[in-house]
Amino acid sequence: MEYTIKTEQDVSIFINDINPYGKKTIFFVHGWPLSHRAFEYQFNVLPKMGFRCIGMDTRGFGNSSKPFWGYDYNRLAEDVRCVIDTMKLRNFVLAGHSMGGATVIRYMSRFNGYGVSKLALFAAAAPSLTMRPDFPYGLPKEEITKIIQSVYNNRPQMLLDTAPMFFHNPITKALSDWFFQLGFEAASWATAECAKTFRDESLFTDLPRIQVPTLILHGIHDRVCLFPLAEAMKRGIRNSRLVPFEHSGHSLFFEEKNKFNMELVRFAE
C-alpha cells in the first residue's frame, strides 16, 4: 500500500506499507541522499517471513514533499512522530540508516521512544559524523562542506563521486546508476540542507536517553560513518549490541544483505 501522510500544512510524507497485516512491524528510515527504495533487498525478503515493513521517504527525498525548510534533526524526528501517530503504530521496531539512524535516535530522545519496542541502527551518523575537539573519530568538517558546495555547483557529479564511498568494493556502472537515480530524486536544497545538519549537529546527549534494546549494525570499512562511531554508540546506549560487518562499507544492507537480514530478523522477532 502506498499513500501520503501530512505532517505540516504543505508537507506530505510518502509511505510504502508492505504486508500491512504482518506479525511484527519494522519501520525503516533511509539515509542521505536516498529514499525508502534503498531497502529493496529487505522488502523483497522480510514480508515473506511475516514482517510488516514500512518505508518512508523523508521530506525532500523520494516521493515526499520537498519544502525549502525543515531539515534539522528535530523537524525530521517530528515527521517520524506524525507518521507513527497517524498510522497508530505501537510495539514496533524503529530502524534507521546513516542520517536516518541519527533521525531515529533524535526521535527516541525527543519523544521518549513513544511506541517503539526496539531500535535498529544501520551505519548511523551518530553521535557525530564530523570530527570535534572532543571527538576525533568522524570526517573532517571541510569534507562535508565541499560536498555541500558541489551540490550547488554540480549535483550530478557530486552523486557520481559519492556513490563509490558508500561501498567497500568497486561498484559496477549499474550500481552507480541505481545510486544516482535514487539520489537525483531528491531536491537539491534538501540534499544540501541535510548535509549541513549532519555536518553541524550532534547526538551525544541523545544516546543515554534510549531505553529500549538496540541493535547496531555497522560495516568496518565504512568511509562515510566511520566504524568508531558504532563503538561510540555502543558505549553510549545502554542495552545495545554491536554487530560488525567485515565485508561492508556504508551500504551493508546491500553488500552483506543475507547477514543483514538474518541479524535484523533475529532481533525483531
Q: Is 250 labeled as catalytic in the residue annotation?
A: yes
Cis peptide bond upstream of 33, omega within 30:
yes
What confidence tens digit (pLDDT) does each residue in 128-168 have? 999 999 999 999 999 999 999 999 999 999 999 999 999 99
Q: In the sheet that 214-219 helps form, which strands lie side by side, from edge to edge? A: 2-8, 11-18, 51-56, 24-29, 92-97, 116-122, 214-219, 240-245
Please tell me the number of Cα atoms within 13 Å of 118 on its side-chain side: 18
Which one of 206, 248, 250, 251 is the catalytic residue?
250
Which one of 57, 79, 206, 222 is the catalytic residue?
222
Which one of 98, 109, 240, 251 is the catalytic residue?
98
Strand ranges in 178-245 using DSSP code E only, listed in sequence order? 214-219, 240-245
The separation between CA 46 and the C-alpha centre of its own chain, rounded to angstroms, equals 18
Give the pLDDT confidence score for residue 268 in this predicted structure.
98
What confidence tens digit (pLDDT) does each residue in 40-63 have? 999 999 999 999 999 999 999 999
C-alpha cell at 140: 573532517
What is the crossing angle of helices 99-110 and 73-87, to 10°? 70
What confidence tens digit (pLDDT) does each residue in 178-189 have? 999 999 999 999
Q: Is 222 labeled as catalytic in the residue annotation?
A: yes
What confidence tens digit (pLDDT) does each residue in 67-99 have? 999 999 999 999 999 999 999 999 999 999 999
Amino acid present at 188: S
Q: Is 188 labeled as catalytic in the residue annotation?
A: no
Which CATH architecture group holds 2-268? Answer: 3-Layer(aba) Sandwich (3.40)
Cα–Cα distance for residue pair 100/126, rounded to 1 Å: 10
Strand ranges in 102-222 using DSSP code E only, listed in sequence order? 116-122, 214-219
Burial class (CB in 10 A: 0-12, 13-18, 19+), 239: exposed
What residue has cell string 553510549? Answer: 236
